[in-house]
């Protein structure tokens, strides 16, 4: 029995899950879905989204579901904060990041005119403002790095790895958060995607 992660190196949701695997120090095999144009992914899971996981024969789809499942079976190095109230808030922030920040990433990635690009940057400005307040005086949102930080980082990191857009310097707390995450994940540069087997 083994764990296989259907992975795309460029996907922010796959990066989120790779960080969770590394926190848990869990070994897994990687299936690069780009190699066979998702053929083995579709055969194995019946759909085409990554991340998907073959978990000892069981199919688990979606970064949030995969993260929760890895946590349930491997509670050491928890990806959630202590206490029910903070855990609920953490799950809500994970969902906000996955569902709202992704929209801004799609908009900036797909912008083909200068108007579309300006609109996408303005959308990001709104989120940077929110995030700058969220990270005011904080290294992480809760008492340690949680899946909320990891989800937010994965979306922001995509700006560096794929979009090639740097977070404006005026957002000091967001930039400090990115630098803190770069160090925590031992990335040489924010242009590198995260791929370490453990943290
Ligand atoms: N909510 C899902 C989003 C997954 C997702 O959108 N994956 C994209 C890559 S970033 C994908 O595989 N898209 C291919 C497709 O929809 O055909 C998660 O958290 O895993």
Q: What is the CATH number of the domain that holds 55?
A: 3.40.30.10
Tell me: do 28 and 95 sit in the same domain. Answer: no
Three-state SS at 44:
helix
Number of domains in the chain: 2
Atom of ligand 1 nearest to the CA of 61: 20
Question: Which residue's CA is the closest to the ligand 1 atom numbered 19?
Answer: 63
Is 33 domain-assigned? yes
pLDDT tens over the chain, length 199 residues: 699 999 999 999 999 999 999 999 999 999 999 999 999 999 999 999 999 999 999 999 999 999 999 999 999 999 999 999 999 999 999 999 999 999 999 999 999 999 999 999 999 999 999 999 999 999 999 999 999 999 999 999 999 999 999 999 999 999 999 999 999 999 999 999 999 999 9
Ligand 1 atom showing the smallest separation from residue 51 Cα: 20
CA distance 195 to 26: 13
Work out the number of other CB atoms within 10 angstroms of the CB of residue 23. Answer: 24
Q: For the whole model, what pTM was predicted?
A: 0.98
Determine how many CB atoms are found less than 10 A away from the CB of residue 184.
17
Domain presence at residue 194: no
Q: How far is the CA of 164 from the centre of ligand 1 (A)?
A: 20
> Is the same domain home to 118 and 174?
yes
Domain limits for position 90: 84-184
What are the φ/ψ torsions at residue 52 (nearest 5 degrees)? -130, 155
Residue nearest to atom 9 of ligand 1 (CA): 11
Hey, how many other C-beta atoms are within 10 angstroms of the C-beta on 108?
Answer: 20
- The alpha helices in the chain, defined as continuous H runs, are 12-24, 39-45, 63-73, 84-96, 102-110, 114-134, 147-158, 172-184
Radius of gyration of the chain (CA): 17
Ligand 1 binding site (Cβ under 6 Å of any ligand atom): 11-13, 48-51, 62-64, 98
Q: What whole-number distance in Å separates Cα of residue 25 and Cα of residue 157?
A: 22
Pick the atom of ligand 1 nearest to 50's CA. 12
Where is the domain boundary, 19, 44, 73? Answer: 73
Could you tell me the distance, in angstroms and rounded to a whole number, from the CA of residue 12 to the centre of ligand 1?
A: 9
């Amino acid at each position: 029995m083994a764990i296989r992660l259907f992975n795309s190196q460029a996907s922010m949701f796959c990066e989120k899950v790779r960080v969770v695997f590394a926190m848990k120090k869990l070994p897994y095999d990687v299936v690069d879905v780009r190699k066979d144009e998702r053929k083995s992914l579709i055969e194995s899971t019946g759909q085409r989204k990554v991340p998907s996981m073959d978990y000892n024969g069981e199919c688990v789809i979606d970064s949030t579901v995969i993260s929760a499942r890895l946590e349930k079976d491997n509670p050491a190095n928890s990806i959630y904060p202590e206490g029910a109230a903070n855990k609920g808030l953490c799950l809500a922030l994970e969902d906000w990041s996955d569902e709202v920040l992704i929209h801004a990433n799609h908009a900036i990635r797909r912008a083909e005119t200068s108007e579309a690009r300006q609109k996408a940057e303005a959308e990001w400005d709104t989120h940077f403002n929110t995030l700058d307040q969220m990270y005011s005086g904080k290294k992480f949102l809760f008492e340690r790095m949680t899946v909320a930080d990891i989800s937010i980082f994965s979306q922001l990191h995509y700006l560096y790895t794929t979009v090639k857009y740097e977070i404006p310097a005026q957002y000091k707390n967001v930039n400090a958060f990115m630098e803190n995450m770069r160090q925590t994940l031992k990335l040489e540069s924010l242009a590198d995607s995260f791929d370490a087997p453990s943290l």
